[in-house]
Chain A
Amino acid sequence: QVQLQESGPGLVKPSETLSLTCTVSGDSFSSYYWSWIRQPAGKGLEWVGRIYSAGNTNYNPSLKSRVTMSLDTSKNQFSLKVTSVTAADAAIYYCARGRNNGDYFDIWGQGTMVTVSS
């Protein structure tokens, strides 16, 4: 049974960098699109971006200049960095497994809340 688990600091200062990691267990890391999706409190879902198991990345155009994703296949982990964060980046961040062309998400992590505050 595939499981995803997000980890990382729950509090980030404005203008600093948000860093999260997702650990994948229970299945092969290969041949999937691994994505980050976020949800501000009380609001809807926003796709942040994805990384293919071969390392190719695609980002939401509205975040592209501040987002970087990477993966560590030896640890079955993929990571997210968002630079120059503001209050608008505060959200629950979910990691998810993407299928097809990464256009739908069949397995989700439980989510991790990130607060942006000094």
Chain B
Amino acid sequence: QSALTQPPSASGSPGQSVTISCTGTSSDVGRYNYVSWYQQHPGKAPKLIIYDVSKRPSGVPDRFSGSKSGNTASLTVSGLQAEDEADYYCSSYGGNYNVVFGGGTKLTVL
């Protein structure tokens, strides 16, 4: 199984919106609605922010939203805040009881 493809970096100014893409294949992202997103601050463990493509766990601000079209999933962060600066990883069920992660995107708040 190959890693999902994410852009290495993304950026935006406070208050703006930014979208991070996550491209897989018809065997993972395209086949299952089991895409999740994680936020990781330096030196910290990842934190779940989106699951099942677009669902938010309790406590995650609604500024974070997820979607999917074909083999590509997306994470949109609206109303960017300084604390949103972090690494973001997507993940998908890959079939055959496997899970595959993306390579990660470093989000910079300008």
- Check A103 against B46 for contact (C-beta < 8 Å): no
A100 and B52 within 8 A (CB): yes
List A75-118 residues whose CB lies under 8 Å from chain B: 94, 99-106, 108-111
Interface size on A, as a range, is 20 to 34
User: Which of the candidate stretches B10-18, B77-85, B89-97 sits at the interface with the other chain?
Assistant: B89-97
- Closest Cβ of chain A: how far from B53's Cβ, in Å? 10
* Cβ–Cβ contact A104 & B45, under 8 A: no
State whether B1 touches A61 (Cβ < 8 A): yes
- Contacting residue for A94 out of B1, B46, B104, CB 8 A: B46
CB distance from A61 to the nearest CB of B (A): 6
Q: Which residues of A contact B32 (CB under 8 A)?
A: 103
Q: Is A19 an interface residue (CB 8 A)?
A: no
Are B36 and A104 neighbours in the complex by a CB distance under 8 Å?
Answer: yes
A16 within 8 Å of B (CB atoms): no
| Number of A-B contacts defined by CB within 8 Å | 67
**In the complex, what residues of A have CB within 8 A of residue B52's CB?**
100, 104
Question: What is the CA–CA distance of A37 and B7 in the complex, to the nearest angstrom?
Answer: 21
CB distance from A58 to the nearest CB of B (A): 4
Shortest distance between the CB of A108 and any CB in chain B (Å): 4
Instruction: Return the CB mask of B63-75 against A: 1 if under 8 Å, else 0.
Output: 0000000000000
Interface pair A110/B45, CB less than 8 Å apart? yes
Partner of A108, one of B34, B46, B100: B46
Q: Is the CB of B45 within 8 A of A103?
A: no
As a 0/1 sequence over residues 38 to 50 of chain B, the CB contacts with chain A under 8 angstroms (1 = contact) are 1000000111100
Answer yes or no: A45 CB below 8 A from chain B CBs. yes
User: CA separation between A46 and B104, bound complex, in Å?
Assistant: 11
Asked if residues A102 and B99 are in contact (CB atoms below 8 Å), the reply is yes
Which residues of A approach B to under 8 Å, CB–CB?
35, 37, 44-47, 50, 58, 60-62, 94, 99-106, 108-111
> What are the 8 A-B residue pairs with the smallest beta carbon separation, nearest first?
A104-B36, A58-B97, A103-B93, A108-B45, A47-B99, A104-B51, A103-B34, A45-B101
A-B contact pairs, 17 of them (CB 8 A): A45-B46, A45-B91, A45-B104, A47-B91, A47-B99, A58-B97, A60-B98, A61-B98, A99-B51, A100-B52, A101-B93, A103-B91, A103-B92, A103-B93, A104-B34, A104-B52, A106-B48
